Amino acid sequence: MQITVDMNLCESHGQCVFAAPEIFSFDDEDRLLYEAAPDDALLGQARKAAAVCPVRAVTVSPAAS
Amino acid sequence: MRTADRRELIVVGASLAGLRAARTLRERGFTGALTLVGDEPHPPYDRPPLSKRVLTAPGRPPGVALPVPHELDARWRLGQAAVRLDPVERTLTLADGTRLPYDGLVIATGAAARGRPAAEPPPPPGVFTLRSWDDALALRAALAAGGRLVVVGAGFLGGEIAAAARERGLDVTLVEAAAQPLAHAVGTTAGAYVAALHREAGIEVRTGTTVEDFLTRTDGRLAGVRLSDGATVRAGTVVLALGGVPSTGWLAGSGLAHDGGVHCDPRLRVLRTDGSVVPDVVAAGDVARVPQPLAGGERLALGHWTNAVEQGTAAAATLLAGRDPARAPGPFAAVPSFWSDLHGARIRSVGLPAAADETRVVEHDLAGRRLEISYHRAGRLVGALTIGRTGRLASYRLALEERLVPATAANAPAAT
């Protein structure tokens, strides 16, 4: 799967970090860090993260095969 | 595949919680008829931007529509308030007299802005509240005229409106009845910090006082306010930001318990005044009063964005499960969270700071725009708030989640 985050939209709400801590985290300056191509086992977490982002900055796409 | 689903489900309330409930019904395989009822004429939209960029954006106001997936396949009854619910006959009556039968119903009518007490004369033109898109456009137009703005109520909404007006270059006075903004919500330390942010931005913060009276010009328009401490403030625009009142007036006579919000059991099923469960009716979002384990089980209506999302999703799951215990979801146990953006400071919170009897300040740096406070009740963590330290919230949230999950597992037999 492929994760993209529109950093122009991101306001560091943290909801994705709560929903999918294995994919998303913050650095010391509250900037979002994320794994762009996480294991497909985390798909459920990733979808939840996208669903709870208040600014809809997170997109989850299946990996191109 | 099952045979065609002939059930008719109605979602009353076409905002965030209602839309999430409707989406979840479809995502979980409901193929019957789905109707969304909304009192506003607009398709679903997002409210947090109304007190932020909708007020500040130059040029045309920005769009705030919520995405409605094509697969929703819903009948829309917009601009039609629900006026009556009969849970025995299973009908919903709309403002135009239409009666809709239902097999299952989601109550997600949200809240309305609290105005002046009904006993007082209506305020003059120039006095606003902010809840809806139309409210936001009206306020945006008033702010464009410039002058001084008085915001009554220094909660999160009032603070954001004050900050937005200041960003537009208006003179702003923020009036708060308590000694400190937000003190009841997040304690005096965070409240004083937020007051300092406002004052640094050039906002006049007047605490411990309320609006006694509106001053008007000879043409009847607003000229300012007289405060209970005797002071007068000249202003062309006043916003009342006094909190929300759950929209339950249409439930009068329904037999549902709805004082301070629709009373729910831990699975978001709606209760009668005698405490029994109303079959096939659930509630979600600002209108729902749900037992909160972090507040000792007290039923609270939380007016937060994430609460509307999570309860909308959970209420739909409960509704679809019906009386089938095998499909029944567990009690609703999401960790609450909320946020506010003020003068570039990102306030982020998890849990229920308002339920705390003790606060512990971990970091306090006004110049560096950093704050970290944990909140406790009877010695146990119930919440946390940060500014500029969102990354630190994850561990607090995890601790709260771990506390809620075993607690709800223990409660599960009693809830079925």
A1-30 per-position pLDDT tens digit: 999 999 999 999 999 999 999 999 999 889
pLDDT above 70 as % of chain B: 97
Flag if B346 and A25 touch (Cβ within 8 Å). no
Tell me the mean pLDDT in the region B333-360. 96
pLDDT-derived band of residue B328, with 50, 70 and 90 as boundaries?
confident
Phi, psi of B110 (to 5 degrees): 70, -145
pLDDT confidence of residue B326: 82
Residue type, B139: L
pLDDT confidence of residue B412: 45
Flag if B306 and A28 touch (Cβ within 8 Å). no
pLDDT-derived band of residue B285, with 50, 70 and 90 as boundaries?
very high
Would you say how long chain A is, in residues? 65
Among candidate residues B195, B155, B163, B202, the one with its CA nearest the CA of residue B56: B163
Answer whether B352's CB lies under 8 Å from B374's CB.
Answer: no
In the 8-state DSSP scheme, what is residue B354? Answer: G
Count of domains forming chain A? 1
Average pLDDT of every residue of chain B = 95
Q: To the nearest whole angstrom, how far is the Cα of A5 from the nearest Cα of chain B?
A: 17
Does position B244 have pLDDT exceeding 90, yes or no? yes
CA–CA gap between residue B161 and residue B175 (Å, rounded): 12
Among candidate residues B137, B11, B141, B148, the one with its CA nearest the CA of residue B75: B11
Comparing B2-16, B172-186, B272-286, which segment has the lowest mean pLDDT?
A: B2-16
Does position B406 have pLDDT exceeding 90, yes or no? no
Beta carbons within 10 angstroms of residue B380's beta carbon: 12
* Chain A residue whose CA is closest to B66: A56
Question: Nearest CB to B348: which of A13, A25, A51?
Answer: A13
pLDDT confidence of residue B405: 78
**Cβ-Cβ contacts under 8 Å for B239 (sequence gap 6 or more):** B127, B128, B129, B130, B139, B149, B150, B151, B152, B158, B161
pLDDT confidence of residue B264: 98
pLDDT confidence of residue A64: 59
Question: Nearest CB to B391: which of A15, A25, A54?
Answer: A25
* Chain A residue whose CA is closest to B337: A15
First-to-last CA distance in chain B? 28
Answer whether B408's CB lies under 8 Å from B333's CB.
Answer: yes
Domains and CATH numbers, chain B: 8-113+245-321 (3.50.50.60), 137-242 (3.50.50.60), 337-415 (3.30.390.30)
* Chain A residue whose CA is closest to B396: A18
User: What is the extent of the structural domain holding A43?
Assistant: 2-61
Flag if B339 and A26 touch (Cβ within 8 Å). no
Chain B, residues 14-53, CB within 8 A of chain A, namely 46, 48
Check if B309 contacts A (Cβ < 8 Å).
yes
Beta carbons within 10 angstroms of residue A11's beta carbon: 18
Tell me the mean pLDDT in the region B160-189. 97
Residue A39, domain CATH: 3.30.70.20
Tell me the mean pLDDT in the region B182-203. 97
Flag if B394 and A21 touch (Cβ within 8 Å). yes
Provide the 3-class DSSP secondary structure of residue B76. strand
Answer whether B391's CB lies under 8 Å from B303's CB.
Answer: no
Check if B128 contacts A (Cβ < 8 Å).
no
Cβ-Cβ contacts under 8 Å, A52 against chain B: 306, 309-310
Does position B415 have pLDDT exceeding 90, yes or no? no
pLDDT confidence of residue B243: 95
Question: Nearest CB to B339: which of A13, A27, A51?
Answer: A13
Q: To the nearest whole angstrom, how far is the Cα of B285 from the nearest Cα of chain A?
A: 14
Flag if B390 and A52 touch (Cβ within 8 Å). no
| Chain centre to alpha carbon of residue B158 | 13
Q: To the nearest whole angstrom, how far is the Cα of A35 from the nearest Cα of chain B?
A: 16
pLDDT confidence of residue B407: 52
Flag if A11 and B341 touch (Cβ within 8 Å). yes
How far is the CA of B133 from the CAs of B54, B63, B190, in angstroms?
9, 10, 30
Question: Nearest CB to B346: which of A12, A15, A52?
Answer: A12
Cβ-Cβ contacts under 8 Å, A17 against chain B: 390-391, 393-394
Among candidate residues A47, A55, A1, A4, the one with its CA nearest the CA of residue B27: A47
CA–CA gap between residue B92 and residue B414 (Å, rounded): 31
CA–CA gap between residue B276 and residue B23 (Å, rounded): 28
Does position B2 have pLDDT exceeding 60, yes or no? no
Question: Nearest CB to A52: which of B48, B306, B339?
Answer: B306
Does position B147 have pLDDT exceeding 60, yes or no? yes
Question: Nearest CB to B390: which of A12, A51, A52?
Answer: A12
Does position B308 have pLDDT exceeding 80, yes or no? yes
Please name every residue paired with B338 in a beta bridge, in sequence order, or none if there are none.
B349
Question: Nearest CB to A15: which of B48, B306, B346?
Answer: B306
Cβ-Cβ contacts under 8 Å, B388 against chain A: 30
Tell me the mean pLDDT in the region B306-333. 92
Burial B78-115 (b: 16+ CB within 10 A, else e): eebbbbebebeebbbebeeeeebebbbbbbbbbbbbee
Flag if A12 and B48 touch (Cβ within 8 Å). no
pLDDT digits (tens, 9 = 90+) for B23-54: 999 999 999 999 999 999 999 999 999 999 99
Does position A65 have pLDDT exceeding 70, yes or no? no
Does position B156 have pLDDT exceeding 90, yes or no? yes
pLDDT-derived band of residue B125, with 50, 70 and 90 as boundaries?
very high
